[in-house]
Structure 1
Amino acid sequence: MKLRETPSASPSLWRSLPCPPAELRLDLVLSAGQTFRWWESSPGAWTGVLGEHVWTLRQDRDRLWYTVYDKEEDGHPAEAAALDGAEMERILRDYFQLDVGLPALYRAWGAADPLFCKVAKDFPGVRVLRQDPVECLLSFICTSNNHISRITAMIERLCQAFGRRLCYLDPRAFHAFPSLSALTGADAEERLRALGFGYRAKFVSGTARAIAEGLGAEGLRGLRAVPYAEARRVLCTLPGVGCKVADCVCLMALDKAEAVPVDTHVWRIARQRYGAVLGGRSLTPRAHQEIGDFFRGLWGPPLLAGHRQ
């Protein structure tokens, strides 16, 4: 990867931590639609924004290698201190939930579900990310009637237009995810429409405003400490947030491992591959609950059920 010759784009030293492919496969986790801020910058290397920093990650045998690029503000080095080694590792362990032993879960799911046992060997190391709740929520509002490549492009435009620039990696500028205040201006919805968000523009700006004027970012993060049903109920009161988006945020940002996001694909799998007669003729809230309950019952303790998604 060629770097722009500026102090703000210089990487820290490469560091690594033990992480075999059975615990994590970057290519399967970062490209499958959980997050939309990573791209394969060179074969086997993934570059993206995590928190307020730009990272490059790669895997080599049983180790996860990582480096972080210095931030900049208005073309000058930022005053914020660079991350130290211990903090880098803490962030990665938290983001990838590396304290959860994945092979043991795979064995438990395989024992409970013959279909999972059959396909699991082709998809090792698929784990649920633990994301920032605001970024996860606003990103998944953009997933309605959409596909991964288009969502990724939308989130990139969102960050370029509303987020603070972090650094350049030639020829690309990287930006932080926008703050709530950046998305609550009087012209935010209009600007989002101009960026191609369509009807989602009012939901993104409306939810940003509702959080800013209500829970706040810390209050949203605080939903990690409440029961799943309560967190889901609160999320579903926000503009543009239905059962599926709420479950995605519960699972991928709010520590609700029992959440099972249900869309038409999951519904079809439940009916065709498991023979489950669920959900009636449309994906109503009742259908979401029935299908989620079916998979929670199939895979064992609710604490572990959603981690498979």
Structure 2
Amino acid sequence: MKLRDAPAACPSLWRCLPCPPAELRLDLVLSSGQTFRWWESSPGAWTGVLGGRVWTLRQERDRLWYTVYGDEDDDDDRDGRPAEAAKPDGAETDRVLRDYFQLDVGLPALYRAWGAADPLFRKVADDFPGVRVLRQDPVECLLSFICTSNNHISRITAMIERLCRAFGRRLCRLDARPFHAFPSLSALTGADTEARLRALGFGYRAKFISGSARAIAEGLGAEGLHQLRTVPYAEARRVLCALPGVGAKVADCVCLMALDKAEAVPVDTHVWRIARQRYSTALGGRSLTARAHQEIGDFFRGLWGPRAGWAQAVLFCADLHQGQQPAGSRDRAGGGRGKGSHEEEPP
């Protein structure tokens, strides 16, 4: 099956969920630095890896359409031919998508509450509806966000792609493009992992990825990392910050996007500037210290309430899309704010 096929072209292989744009905008959520495994495979269609399967998603009016592709292991006689769409197991695939996009959380009511509390939020809300926080696999989220320090979205996406191709199980091939699962912890704990990652261009992050993978494998384990969903935010944050390469911003990203801590507010230098320039010049002091992280997070939690991290995601997305550079311009990492940069000093 070709990626360009529309839902109507193959109805038996596509399913849909009711999902109006006010509840979800794929183009905003999947391109704004929460996840790095999706690409716009054709206008309005997004293809990526979720739960060890390859999916294509498309929105049409008030419905979210999706199809799931067969695993290469499902057809030993394919002889390298591209994967075909598999008839989805409806109840299970619906559940996976509803969980991933947290569709049980009603977004319009939250937008109204945040707008009532914050005139600045109200100014951008109408132009950026449907921005919600994903619920990701904790291991994938953690190791991905270790790659984000002093980096920008396009470069992070390329790094994660190289990581998955080098260490992850191959799932299928679509239009000559191979797709791989995110690596397991065991795949990243070999003695040569750091050297291989450095050869792939990960730089100092190679040590942190291999070190954190090893620390989790030898300590909490993947299941223990998942279990942090059940502990208080402060405790989950403390456990994460003890891992190699995990500072306050990375820990808050994982708490918010993988561990059900909706109150977590990730603060990088960009969010720090938003807080100081648009809310109060007294916020966060003169540099992004641990105290500044806490102060800015507490400020936004007081302003927006228990889902402050979700409201921050809307403002971050709005600022990212409003500030995108013209086509052909170069992203900048490190010293300047490039398109979709995640700036944080190396630990």
TM-score range, shorter chain: over 0.9
Q: What amino acid is aligned across from residue 42 of structure 2 in structure 1?
A: S
| Aligned equivalents of 2:184, 2:269: Cα separation in 1 | 32
Deviation for aligned residue 1:67: 0.3
2:89 maps to which residue? Answer: 84
Structure 2 SS opposite 1:249: helix
Deviation for aligned residue 1:76: 2.3
1:297 maps to which residue? Answer: 302
2:157 maps to which residue? Answer: 152
Equivalent residues of 1:12, 1:67 under 8 A apart: no
Q: Which moved more, 1:82-91 or 1:107-116?
A: 82-91
1:115-171 deviations in Å (ceiling 9; x for gaps)? 000111110000000000000000000001000000000000000000000011021
For residue 257 of structure 1, the aligned residue among 241, 262, 274 is 262
**Pairing 1:307–2:321 present:** no
| Aligned equivalents of 1:82, 1:139: Cα separation in 2 | 30
1:125 maps to which residue? Answer: 130
Q: What amino acid is aligned across from residue 35 of structure 1 in structure 2?
A: T
Deviation for aligned residue 1:305: 1.3
**Pairing 1:67–2:67 present:** yes
Gap runs ≥5 in structure 2: 4-9, 79-85, 314-347
2:19 maps to which residue? Answer: 19
Structure 1 SS opposite 2:58: strand
Structure 2 SS opposite 1:104: helix
1:257-276 deviations in Å (ceiling 9; x for gaps)? 00000011111111111125
| Aligned equivalents of 1:82, 1:56: Cα separation in 2 | 13
Q: Which moved more, 1:69-78 or 1:283-292?
A: 69-78
1:200-219 residue pairs with structure 2 within 5 A?
Answer: 200-219=205-224
Structure 2 SS opposite 1:273: helix
| Aligned equivalents of 1:54, 1:127: Cα separation in 2 | 21
Structure 1 SS opposite 2:17: strand
- Over 4 Å off, 4+ runs: none
1:223-242 residue pairs with structure 2 within 5 A?
Answer: 223-242=228-247
For residue 188 of structure 2, the aligned residue among 159, 179, 183 is 183
Equivalent residues of 1:21, 1:125 under 8 A apart: yes
| Aligned equivalents of 1:171, 1:242: Cα separation in 2 | 38
1:242-286 deviations in Å (ceiling 9; x for gaps)? 000000000000000000000111111111111251222221111
Equivalent residues of 2:13, 2:87 under 8 A apart: no
Give the percent of matched residue pairs that are identical in Structure 1 and Structure 2: 86
Deviation for aligned residue 1:73: 3.2
| Aligned equivalents of 1:144, 1:77: Cα separation in 2 | 43
Aligned residue pairs total 299
Equivalent residues of 2:27, 2:44 under 8 A apart: yes
1:6 maps to which residue? Answer: none
1:7 maps to which residue? Answer: none
Equivalent residues of 1:47, 1:55 under 8 A apart: yes
Gap runs ≥5 in structure 1: 4-9
For residue 283 of structure 2, the aligned residue among 260, 273, 278 is 278
Deviation for aligned residue 1:82: 7.4
| Aligned equivalents of 2:36, 2:12: Cα separation in 1 | 24
**Pairing 1:48–2:48 present:** yes
| Aligned equivalents of 1:83, 1:182: Cα separation in 2 | 29
Equivalent residues of 1:203, 1:239 under 8 A apart: yes
